[in-house]
Chains A and B, each alone.
Chain A
Amino acid sequence: MNASHSSSSVPESAKKTEAYYGVENVVNTELQFFSNAKRRIDACMNFTIPSLGTRTEQIKKSFMNAKNRGVKIRYLTEITKDNIEYCKEMMENVDELKHLEGIMSNFVLSESEYLAPVFIADVERIAPEIIYCNINSFVEQQQYFFDVLWNKAETAEQKFREIEAKQEADFIEIIRDPNKVLKLAFDLIVEAKEEILVIFSTENAFHRQTRAGAIKLVIEATCRGVKASILTPFDERVRRFVEELEGQYDSWNTSLDNKNYRDDNKNEHPGRLNSVTKLKIRPIEPQLQTKISILIVDRKYSLAVELKDDSKDTSDKAMGLASYSNSKSTVSSYVSIFQSLWRQLDVYEQLKEANKQQQILIEQLRIHDNLQQEFINTAAHELRTPIQPILGLTDILSSKKGDIEQYQEYISIINRNARRLKLLTEDILDVAKIEAKSLELKNDTFDLVAAINSLLDDYRKDHDSLVKKYKILFECKFKSVFVYGDRNRISQVVNNLLDNAIKYSKHGLIIISLSKITQNTKKWIISVKDDGQGIDSQILPRLFTKFTTKSEHGIGLGLFISKSIVEAHGGRIWAENNVDGKGATFSFSLPTSK
């Protein structure tokens, strides 16, 4: 941007208002301005500029040269605790420096020129742009404006004293009066701006401060956004307090979320709820108990109070000497004590969790070990039992002579037990295949109705005496139901469920049903319902896992194998006790097609 104005008091050719861009142009313009000034320079600068002015060598020199030429320099800025040292240095290069609270304008005037650097907000560096003007009337206006500000400002010396008075010296003060200690603690908590850290020596110290109102003040501080953490030994009352506080924070947060907070509800809350940061209270382990309680506020002040008599009800009687300090080393020592205790609790919690996990693992290993032993016992029993009649009767038969017909009973016993061994061996091999993930299905489309009917025919033939005791019904509305899968394996599942139903019912009714859940569903459900003793509630959760059996006979593999077969077909198997309280129903689903 470039613009020109005319003025009557300077030659027409020299009258101008211009903007210069780029750091180099800006600095050159400023240096030219300083060397042009003859009688006075008035600078009005925000609080960031004094440091820039003293650190930029060229500008600093320009001030010095102008002053040495006899130019009277007045400097107006906001003196703060952060720029006070730069302002003091600046005073050596100017005639007078004054403070004006909150001044944000940036311009510099001589008797004939005006300069206004355009700074980027809060960025402390040379302005990237500067506006220049030498139109007399404008310069005069700005001079008037500067004078108004100047007259309102206070002297630098006055401001320096004010700031330095606030920058207290380090102190450590011993306080003997418990009431004074208590009042000081309250004041510190109320004035806390960022953080409150507390270590209580005993749980009673916590209770005493709860009664005295200190804890309430800490909670109020958290509602102002102050972060607060307390370490204290825990007893049942502290535990309850922490739980209730948790609940309160939840309700306050809800009221914040709902934006229902109104001034007339103030009493329900400990303070204005702008941003609630939860008060964190953690237990110190008993062996970490200290004999002093410590309050640290904003990492600036510490108050350490000795415990004189923990049996007293009130703080004034329980507390001994207190040391109050703002010394950086004292306060930071207390902060690090607090932090290391706090972190120690983290480590302790992690250790406890690790121990818990280890215990769970040990318990799992123990269960696994027990299951394995149980399996060895059961497998041993089931494998050895059928061998006994085979061994005994073959011994007998080998000593007999004559017609084999008269020993037909022995031969069928041998045959039956050999078959029993065969089934057991197949089950064990199936489990080995399942576990090795090598169970192969010979899938094809087959008629499930025909498969179940054929299975029942064989079952009745093979278990002639058994079947007489039971009534086995097959209910199905469909003449044929085609599914895709391994017919033998699916028959094995139905067979297993039927075996179980017979094993656990005495003389009952067993109903096998084949249905669709709904008309549109693509899954068939095969169920085997018995009216026996039902499923033991202890067994129910691990019914389909290996070695689960309540029977004196059987190895507990049938349902595990069935589940694996059904799932390999994309189906699901489940069991439930019947609603009428008699017996159980085992069901599995199968998809209709590929």
Chain B
Amino acid sequence: MSKRILIVDDEADINTALREILESNGFTVNTFENPRLALDNFKPYFYDLLILDIKMPEMSGFSFYREIKKLDDKMKVCILTAAEIKYGEYSDILSSLPDNCIIQKPVTSEDLLKIIYKVIQCNLK
């Protein structure tokens, strides 16, 4: 059974690109641009990995993270952000996340896959 990945990022073009990369590598992918919609439609213990943007209107990635962990504490989470990680609130909050998987945008397909395989400990190809 292929691994399931949920992507929450307000940039539709990024979702399209990531979906294409991941699906062509054997993952099952669901994407949401609106974090609230993602929460409303969330199926607990269904996904193996969540790829989460931080800077989003409506709801920040941090708030989303807290809510989703209440619903599913097993799912792995990778933060995928374009923000400058070493500055300000990001560095503090990011380093406090237990999963501690932070990917800096832009990331090449190759590097992204390497990280994902490592996090969910699988190698589909």
What is the interface of chain A, defined by CB distance below 8 A to chain B?
373-374, 376-377, 380-393, 395-396, 399, 409-410, 413, 416-417, 551-552
Q: Which A residues are in CB contact (< 8 Å) with B10?
A: 552
| CB of B82 closer than 8 Å to a CB of A | yes
Alpha-carbon separation in the docked complex, A384 to B106 (Å): 6
Further pairs besides A374-B88, A390-B106, A396-B24: 6, Cβ < 8 Å: A377-B83, A381-B83, A382-B82, A388-B13, A392-B14, A392-B21
Contact of A552 among B55, B87, B107 (CB under 8 A): B55
Q: Are A385 and B105 in touch, CB under 8 angstroms?
A: yes
| CB of B20 closer than 8 Å to a CB of A | yes
Scoring A382, A386, A392, A551 by chain B CB atoms within 10 A of each residue's CB, the highest score goes to A392
Q: Are A392 and B109 in touch, CB under 8 angstroms?
A: yes
Q: Which A residues are in CB contact (< 8 Å) with B90?
A: 377
Alpha-carbon separation in the docked complex, A575 to B7 (Å): 39
Q: Which B residues are in CB contact (< 8 Å) with A389?
A: 11, 13-14, 16-17
Q: Are A552 and B57 in touch, CB under 8 angstroms?
A: yes
| CB of B18 closer than 8 Å to a CB of A | yes
Q: Which A residues are in CB contact (< 8 Å) with B82?
A: 380-385, 388
The residues in B between 71 and 121 inclusive whose CB is less than 8 angstroms from any CB of A are 81-84, 87-88, 90, 104-110
Q: Are A417 and B83 in touch, CB under 8 angstroms?
A: no
Given A417-B13, A552-B10, A552-B57, A391-B84 contact (CB < 8 Å): no
Q: Are A388 and B106 in touch, CB under 8 angstroms?
A: yes
| CB of B56 closer than 8 Å to a CB of A | yes
- In the assembled complex, how far is the CB of residue B109 from the closest CB belonging to chain A, in whole angstroms? 4
Q: Are A388 and B87 in touch, CB under 8 angstroms?
A: no
- In the assembled complex, how far is the CB of residue A373 from the closest CB belonging to chain B, in whole angstroms? 5
Given A377-B83, A381-B55, A388-B21 contact (CB < 8 Å): no
Q: Which A residues are in CB contact (< 8 Å) with B13?
A: 386, 388-389, 413, 416-417
Q: Are B84 and A395 in touch, CB under 8 angstroms?
A: no
- In the assembled complex, how far is the CB of residue B34 from the closest CB belonging to chain A, in whole angstroms? 12
Q: Which A residues are in CB contact (< 8 Å) with B56?
A: 552
Q: Are B105 and A395 in touch, CB under 8 angstroms?
A: no
Contact of A388 among B14, B20, B55, B57 (CB under 8 A): B14
- In the assembled complex, how far is the CB of residue B18 from the closest CB belonging to chain A, in whole angstroms? 6
**Total count of chain B residues near the partner, CB < 8 A:** 27
Alpha-carbon separation in the docked complex, A395 to B55 (Å): 25
Q: Name which residue of chain B comes closest to A407, CB basis.
A: B20
Q: Are A396 and B17 in touch, CB under 8 angstroms?
A: yes
Q: Name which residue of chain B comes closest to A384, CB basis.
A: B82
Q: Are B87 and A376 in touch, CB under 8 angstroms?
A: yes
Alpha-carbon separation in the docked complex, A183 to B20 (Å): 101
Q: Are B107 and A393 in touch, CB under 8 angstroms?
A: no
Q: Name which residue of chain B comes closest to A397, CB basis.
A: B20
Q: Are B109 and A387 in touch, CB under 8 angstroms?
A: no
Q: Which B residues are in CB contact (< 8 Å) with A390?
A: 106
Alpha-carbon separation in the docked complex, A409 to B16 (Å): 10
Contact of A376 among B17, B18, B84 (CB under 8 A): B84
Q: Which A residues are in CB contact (< 8 Å) with B57?
A: 551-552
- In the assembled complex, how far is the CB of residue B33 from the closest CB belonging to chain A, in whole angstroms? 12
Alpha-carbon separation in the docked complex, A396 to B55 (Å): 26
The 8 closest A-B pairs by CB, nearest first: A392-B17, A384-B82, A387-B106, A389-B13, A395-B109, A380-B84, A389-B17, A388-B106
Q: Are A393 and B17 in touch, CB under 8 angstroms?
A: yes
Q: Which A residues are in CB contact (< 8 Å) with B17?
A: 388-389, 391-393, 396, 410, 413
Q: Which B residues are in CB contact (< 8 Å) with A551?
A: 57
Q: Name which residue of chain A comes closest to B60, CB basis.
A: A552
- In the assembled complex, how far is the CB of residue A397 from the closest CB belonging to chain B, in whole angstroms? 9
The residues in B between 8 and 28 inclusive whose CB is less than 8 angstroms from any CB of A are 10-11, 13-14, 16-18, 20-21, 24
Q: Which A residues are in CB contact (< 8 Å) with B14?
A: 385, 388-389, 392
Scoring A382, A395, A399, A409 by chain B CB atoms within 10 A of each residue's CB, the highest score goes to A395
Q: Can you list 23 A-B pairs, Cβ within 8 angstroms, ordered by A?
A: A377-B84, A377-B87, A377-B88, A381-B55, A381-B82, A382-B82, A383-B82, A384-B82, A386-B13, A388-B11, A388-B13, A388-B105, A388-B107, A389-B16, A391-B108, A391-B109, A392-B14, A395-B109, A395-B110, A396-B109, A410-B20, A413-B16, A552-B57
Q: Name which residue of chain A comes closest to B80, CB basis.
A: A388
Alpha-carbon separation in the docked complex, A383 to B10 (Å): 15
Q: Are B88 and A384 in touch, CB under 8 angstroms?
A: no
- In the assembled complex, how far is the CB of residue B88 from the closest CB belonging to chain A, in whole angstroms? 6
Contact of A391 among B88, B104, B106 (CB under 8 A): B106
Alpha-carbon separation in the docked complex, A381 to B56 (Å): 11
Q: Name which residue of chain B comes closest to A382, CB basis.
A: B82
Q: Which A residues are in CB contact (< 8 Å) with B108?
A: 391, 395
- In the assembled complex, how far is the CB of residue A391 from the closest CB belonging to chain B, in whole angstroms? 5
Alpha-carbon separation in the docked complex, A572 to B41 (Å): 49
Alpha-carbon separation in the docked complex, A386 to B24 (Å): 21
Alpha-carbon separation in the docked complex, A384 to B10 (Å): 14
- In the assembled complex, how far is the CB of residue A471 from the closest CB belonging to chain B, in whole angstroms? 23
- In the assembled complex, how far is the CB of residue A552 from the closest CB belonging to chain B, in whole angstroms? 5
Q: Name which residue of chain A comes closest to B54, CB basis.
A: A381
Alpha-carbon separation in the docked complex, A139 to B24 (Å): 140
Contact of B105 among A376, A384, A552 (CB under 8 A): A384
